[in-house]
Structure 1
Amino acid sequence: MISKQQTLFERIGGDQAITELIHKFYDRVVADPELKPFFKNASMEKIRRMQREFFSAALDGPITYTGKPLGYVHHGRGITKHHFALYVGHLIQALEKININDQDVQDIISRINTYADEITGTAGSMG
C-alpha cells in the first residue's frame, strides 16, 4: 500500500490557512515603519491576492502563481537583505499566530528564503 505524503500546503491547513496567514502577515508588514514605504502606492487587495497565489504555489498547493517574475516585480525598489529579514521575521510571527508547528514554520521559511536573491536583486552578485 502506497500512502501519499501530504504537501506543506496541506499540512498547514490548505487555502484557509494561507488566506488567514496572508491577512495576519500583511497587517504586520504594512505596520512596520521600515517596510511600510514599499507599499505606499500599492493596491493591498492585489498584493494579498498575489501573495495568496505565491504562498500556495511555493508550498506545493494547487493554486498557480500568475504574477510576474519576482525579480522583475521587485527590481529597483531598494529592497535590501535587511528588509527581507524583517519581512521573514513578520512571516514567522504570523505563522506562529495561526498555530503552525515549528517544523512546518522552518520548512516554510526555508522555501521563502530561496527567493531572497531575486527579491533583493542580489542574484549572481558577489557578496
Structure 2
Amino acid sequence: MRTALSLFAFFALSACAGSGIPRIGLGDFSALNVNGAPVTGDRPLTLRLEKEGRASGHGGCNSFSTSYTLESGERITFGPIASTRMACAPEVMEQETRYFAILSAAESYSVYGSGSLSIIAADGRAIRFRR
C-alpha cells in the first residue's frame, strides 16, 4: 500500500512539474517592490494569473490586462500590455512604467517557500510579489 501511494505521489508531482502552473500557482499577487524599490502610492501593484494564459492587475495608477505563457524551467513571458490611461502623481507613473517594463521583458520567475514570487526580466530587473 505504501509503495502504491508513493508511486502515485511521484507521478502526480511529475505530471504537474512540467506545466509550470502548480509551481507558480494561479491567483492574486501583490508587489512588494519593483527592482528593489518599495512600492509607493495609495494603490497596490497587483498581478492576477488566470486560467488559459490570461493575466490582469493594477499598476498603481492604471488597470491592465495581458496574456502570459509558462514554459519549462521556470520561464514566463507576457504579451503586450493593454491598460487604462489615467494620470497619477509623477512618482506613481514612473513606478508603473517600471512595473510594466519588467513584465513586458520578463523571461523567468522564482517561487519562494513563503509563496512569494519574483518575475525577472532578461537584464535582471525583477518584481517581488507576495500572495
Normalised TM-score (structure 2): 0.29
Q: Which structure has greater strand proportion?
A: 2
Larger RCO, structure (CA 8 Å, separation 6 or more)? 1
The higher radius of gyration belongs to 2
Normalised TM-score (structure 1): 0.30
Q: Which structure has greater helix proportion?
A: 1
